[in-house]
Amino acid sequence: MENILRPIYQERASHSDTLAVILIERKNQTSPATDNFDVALLVISKKSEAPIFVKHYEFEGKTASLHVVSESQIQEWILLGTNRRTIDWIMNGKVLFDRNEYVANLVDWLYTFPFSDRKMKIGLEYGKLIRRYIEGKAFFESKQFLDAYNSIVHALHHLARIEVIDKGFHPEVTVWNQVRHMEPQVYKLYLELIESNESLEKRLELLFLASDFLIHSKAEVGSSYILTIMEEKPVWLFGELLEHPELKLFITDLGVLIEFLVSKGFVEVKRIETKGQHIYHRGYSVKKGVDSF
């Protein structure tokens, strides 16, 4: 198969902007890793007209897909966890071309997982966790139990990813298999939600009580990244936080995260006068005595 595809990937490898070419073969009848194609080729490019470019091929009764992805897009996927198979491709794919040991260095970075990157990734996951948890509670209180169930499953998934990252590992596609060994308490919570014989309402009620403690216990590690940034100046307007270059990936969940940190006493609100009478801007500052780790 590799020989048949050689003209395709060699043409890409000859481009000066191409950093790596990786081949991923289908291992099972159902293969989400390759979108059910027999083989996928990942081409990582230094520069690209589009972040992602895909072509599909057929040969000798088999199928193949070619994914040309920019280096910046790969890094974003890894940091945000929005395309979790990327790590699987890089770690387990067959390297056909590796300019200046780009893949070797990338794999080393994935294994090392620097502390600063872990802090940011945990912060991102914690923001998503808080949003899903709040949505789930709102659905539960309005007796929309199926929607509450969906939200809390997603919340537990983000909590599981935080546990894995906090242990120094990248969450894999099979994150619950990782969590089962690393943090049995979270794994047990998940099983109680999906396997309990209690009514859905009762399961959710018990889960909200248990997960409330776990979510709050992760507040310090979950807020560490953003609190460190907020210590750069005494008071922030929310718009200033949105414009901070190191918070650009937090934009979607930044508002709900800040409000949560205010409610838990990590951040305090400073009222700033406006031209309107009895109307104030809200400024935010790290509460004294709070460690940002």
Residue at 246: amino acid letter: E
Domain of 65, CATH number, reads 3.30.460.10
- Which of the listed residues 92, 112, 132 is the one where a domain comes to its end? 112
Query: Which pLDDT score is estimated for 83?
Result: 83
CA distance 155 to 186: 11
CA distance 90 to 131: 30
Same domain, 283 and 268: yes
Integer Rg of the chain from CA: 23
Instruction: Annotate 21-66 with DSSP letters as a single string.
Output: EEEEE--SSS-GGGTT-SEEEEEEESS-SSSEEEEEEEETTEEEEE
Q: Could you list the residue range(s) of the whole structural domain that residue 48 is in?
A: 2-112
Task: Tell me what the mean pLDDT of segment 173-198 comes to.
Answer: 88
CA atoms within 13 A on the CB side of 253: 22
pLDDT digits (tens, 9 = 90+) for 15-62: 889 999 999 998 877 777 888 899 999 999 997 777 888 999 988 888
Average pLDDT of the chain is: 89
- Which of the listed residues 190, 217, 244 is the one where a domain comes to its end? 217
Domain of 170, CATH number, reads 1.20.120.330
Helix or strand holding residue 185 (H, E): helix 184-195
SS3 95: strand
Query: Which pLDDT score is estimated for 5?
Result: 78
Tell me which long-range contacts 142-148 makes (C-beta under 8 A, separation of at least 24).
143/201, 145/200, 145/201, 145/204, 146/200, 148/204
Same domain, 8 and 106: yes
Task: Tell me what the mean pLDDT of segment 75-79 comes to.
Answer: 85
For residues 284 and 262, is the Cβ–Cβ distance under 8 A? yes
List the structure tokens of 33.
Answer: 């890793």
Residue at 101: amino acid letter: E
CA distance 284 to 271: 9
pLDDT digits (tens, 9 = 90+) for 224-261: 999 999 999 999 999 999 999 999 989 999 999 999 99
List the structure tokens of 188.
Answer: 């047990």
For residues 194 and 255, is the Cβ–Cβ distance under 8 A? no
Residues forming beta bridges with residue 267, ordered by sequence position: 286
pTM of the model: 0.82
Helix or strand holding residue 164 (H, E): helix 145-166
Query: Which pLDDT score is estimated for 110?
Result: 86
Asked if residue 282 has pLDDT above 50, the reply is yes
Q: Domains in the chain: how many in total?
A: 3
Same domain, 197 and 264: no
For residues 80 and 249, is the Cβ–Cβ distance under 8 A? yes
Same domain, 198 and 260: no
